Amino acid sequence: MRRTILLILLLFPMLGLCQSIRIVWIGDSITDGGWGRSGGSMAPAEERNDRDQNHRYGHSYMFLCASALQSDHPERGYSCFNRGISGYTLQELHTRWKQDIEALQPDVISILIGTNDVHRFLHHADAGSTFDLIAWEQSYREYLRRTREALPEVHLILCTPFVMQAGRLAATPDYPQRAATIAACAECIRHLADEFQAELVDFHALFSQLEQQQAVPAEYWIWDGIHPTPAAHHRMARMWLHQTKRQLRKLSRESRQ
């Protein structure tokens, strides 16, 4: 009996033996998924119900990632936080850095941003104007630099934005410019991931591949051109978990030392 108990303890470490690993997902509505009973609004975290376990994570890829991590690895002590806010841009992530990053002191930060930056530009841009990609990349770099300075050991996960010619965007005259600008933002993020030694989760590449599957309509994956369907959120979660599993396993080992 004593040997059996000892074996169980060796194979399944008690939760109290490892420090909690705190993961924060930040971004816009694609991450938000109505978490905390927001009703799809732009309500900040402090105005949402973060205690209701039925709605704490929303219904995006973040929910699928968090539920898989906590279900498959209870011994790692994952604490997961959705801080996506519908409609947010990169600049608005800057304004909420203290509430969503400094206050939570995460070990891992996953960022998916860019769709609304491009959307707002196209909505307000003069004819012939171009998106200031250099300024956008520099703003993203400053966000990462600020985070690394405050949290030197933090693990960064950078996700690329995406779009599909589907739903209400399918026939819009600015779609080619939108798609090209989103692709350029995704390329900036790939460079930043190398620069900051961050993990890259290339959602843009994922949806580009899905778009090439002509047997399946684009609306099957992104119903309105911007927001993924449940099937696509599942694909996103699979990619996120696959790309980050080595990093998270390493972090788990470090938390036990």
Tens-digit pLDDT profile for residues 63-75: 999 999 999 999 9
Q: Is residue 13 part of a domain?
A: no
pLDDT score of 257: 61
pLDDT above 90 for 255: no
pLDDT tens for 156-182 read: 999 999 999 999 999 999 999 999 999
pLDDT score of 1: 45
pLDDT tens for 187-231 read: 999 999 999 999 999 999 999 999 998 899 999 999 999 999 999
Q: Is residue 22 part of a domain?
A: yes
pLDDT tens for 5-19 read: 334 333 444 444 457
pLDDT score of 13: 41
CA distance 134 to 85: 24
CATH number reported for the structural domain that contains residue 63 in this entry: 3.40.50.1110
* % helix, strand, coil for the chain, step of 5: 55, 10, 35
Mean per-residue pLDDT for 138-143?
98
Q: Is residue 240 part of a domain?
A: yes
Domain ranges, residue 131: 18-255
CA distance 124 to 73: 46
Mean per-residue pLDDT for 135-152?
98
Q: Which residue has the tokens 């409609």?
A: 87
Interior/surface letters 36-69, b for 16+ CB within 10 angstroms, e for the rest: bebeeeebbbeebeeeeeebbbbebbbbbbbeeb
Beta bridge mates, 83: 26
Q: Is residue 111 part of a domain?
A: yes
Return the percentage of the chain with pLDDT > 90, whole number. Answer: 81
Token readout for 192 is: 């930043």
How confident is residue 253, by pLDDT bands cut at 50, 70 and 90? confident
CA distance 105 to 121: 32
Q: Is residue 87 part of a domain?
A: yes
* Whole-structure pTM value: 0.91
Q: Is residue 57 part of a domain?
A: yes
Domains identified in the chain, total number: 1
Q: Is residue 4 part of a domain?
A: no
Q: Is residue 8 part of a domain?
A: no
Distances (CA, A) of 76 to 62, 92, 100, 239, 249: 18, 32, 22, 20, 9
